[in-house]
A = this chain, B = another copy of it.
Amino acid sequence: MRTRPYVTTSPTRLAAALLDVAARNGLDAASVREVANEAGVSIGAVQHHFPTKDEMLAYSFRTLSDRVLNRLTNVDPDIDPARTLFSALSQLLPLDEERGSEVHVMSAFAVRAVTSPTLSAIRTATLFTIRTGIARVLIRAGTPDPETRAALLLSTANGLALDAAASPELYPREYLTHALHAQVQLVLDGADAH
């Protein structure tokens, strides 16, 4: 086993190692020992940055959530709200290998958030930020009941993502993009711009 002193590692690098382990073998496999091994550092080096496993998980979940949020909020807004919403929400679907890994690990954290107040708070902040951004597009487009429809769009994307990750043969990529397009159209129904 490769070991290096903790001065050569960082929380960012350890979070990346944790997310790699979790994508490959599930979040249960992401023990302090496995993360140390993956990052090529000693267990003590991990514990130096994260005194408890919970802190390591929270930091890693925040890192992953921020990465996804950044991609979503950096989508170029289009004059057409349908195109803006599709571009943003397709960031949440397993349309390539990277997003497939993300969906797997994000969903695993969401499940763990059911019994962890710390992880739940991170999840809630992320969902709330995304929902608010979607609602803003829907309000501008003049859509009825924009807050509810924003939640529906987000939950549809999250649901499709997990359903597709667990049952890829039921949800090939073309099917996922077709379904997301259809949901965006439904949600924009009754908007001024339509």
Contact = CB atoms under 8 A, between A and B. Distances in A.
Interface of A: 25-28, 104, 107-108, 110-115, 119-120, 123-124, 127-128, 131, 145, 148-149, 151-152, 154-163, 165-167, 169-171, 175, 178-179, 182-183, 186-187, 189
Contact of A127 (B149, B163, B165): B163
A111 B152 contact: no
A56 B6 CA distance: 41
Given A124-B170, A167-B127, A26 B186 contact: no
Contact of A170 (B128, B161, B182): B128
A108 B115 CA distance: 12
Given A108-B111, A111-B107, A152 B186 contact: yes
Given A114-B166, A120-B166, A155 B179 contact: yes
A178 to B, nearest CB: 6
Contact of A152 (B145, B161, B179, B189): B179
Contacts of A165: 114
Nearest to A187: B186
Contact of A110 (B107, B175, B178, B189): B107
Given A111-B26, A156-B156, A123 B167 contact: yes
B163 A160 contact: no
Contacts of A189: 186, 189
Contacts of A25: 115
15 contacts: A26-B112, A107-B162, A113-B167, A119-B166, A127-B163, A149-B186, A151-B179, A152-B156, A154-B163, A156-B159, A157-B159, A159-B162, A162-B162, A186-B186, A186-B189
